[in-house]
Amino acid sequence: MSTRRDFLQNLTLGVGFTAVAQSLISPATASPAPSKQKPARKLRVAIMGLGSYGTRVAEAMEKCEMAELTGIVTGTPAKAEAWKKKYNIADKNIYTYDTVSQIKNNPDIDVVYVITPNSLHHKHVIQVANAGKHVICEKPLADNAKQAREMIAACNKAGVKLYVGYRLHFEPHTREVISMREGGEFGKIMFVDNTCGFKIGDPTQWRLKKALAGGGALMDVGVYNINGARYATGEEPIWVTAQEIKTDPVKFKEVDETITFQMGFPSGAIANCSTTYNFNHIGRLYLVGEKGFAELDPAFGYGPIKGRTHKGELKQPVVTHQTAQMDGLADCILNNKPDPNMTGVEGLKDMVVVDAIYESIRQGGKKINIAKV
């Protein structure tokens, strides 16, 4: 039985990746390269939500040079006890969802990484912001653009940073493709084709419940399609058309199963995208420019990411994505480097497109003009 975690772990086996200041960041520039400057101390991180991905992040952080796990937030006492022992977490750094506001007075925690079900992100990010701590929120940022704007506003008001867990923005192969595109090596981008999905397992899991997931494949892994098309072109889409296919109306009663969508960009570039919860072996990004091409296949899983361009095979280092992400964010915060392209505004831009995709489906595939962020 396949799960999202299996999909992201095994994707390599597939056949075929304050508000004004933030909004000035190009949506598709590479995040700053990690520096060799070691801060005086490590970034102190609490993880909120100790499920499978929270566990993956915690394990990856054991290899971090600039970040360390110092706290947890969970509603499960047994998990709290197990994590306390495994990661040597002090009792005073363990919180429940009801006591998270008390984190405000804890100097052992700089940032909270929210890794709870999608539809809880809005509530939890605002809770953390109100407690005066920086926030990393796993994607998707929210259920919709309205919630995303409220989360950004709450963080701005509190004077804290908001990041989204776009781990691929620190992944070397992805960074290289973005760098080549920025350097004009592909010429004008004409077309992007990307796919991302897997066959979901347990029909009782939270990802199939709209109240917790917000949506189905699009919200879960389709965000990779959107974000990938945006950094492949270096542009923001201006229109979208979308179609939904549902082969199992019982299992997918509450959420979407398979969605195909097309996006148009100001330059005339077109992106063709597919995301699904119904089959495996898709997870590829392919871009074509007037002077060349790039392919990442697999493009979006936990790695190793592989790729090639018209110049040959990409041979960038293989990294643990979550380790690179957490060290990269720590570098930005502690060394006062420019914010990476993982801010709340970046997450908002993807949510604006998600809203437009669902609206197109509601209107029978009609072309929807995408509002500017």
CA angle 335, 48, 36 (to 5 degrees): 20
Which residue, among 72, 40, 42, 77, has the nearest Cα to 57 in the 3D structure? 72
* Strands 134-137 vs 285-289: parallel, antiparallel or unpaired: unpaired
Instruction: Let me know: does 199 contact 278? Beta carbons within 8 Å.
Output: yes
The one-letter amino acid at 96: T
* Residues assigned a catalytic role: 139, 224
How far is residue 264 from each of residues 85, 239, 296, 300, measured CA to CA in Å? 51, 5, 21, 22
Rg value, the chain, Cα: 20
- Other C-beta atoms closer than 10 Å to the C-beta of 268 total 11
Structure tokens at 145: 């653009």
Q: Are 133 and 110 in contact (CB under 8 A)?
A: yes
What is the Cα–Cα distance from 138 to 125, expressed in whole angstroms? 10
CA 334 to chain centre: 22
- Residue 121: CB atoms within 10 A of its CB come to 27
From CA 65, how far away is CA 328, in angstroms rounded? 10
Phi (first) and psi of residue 113, to 5 degrees: -100, 110
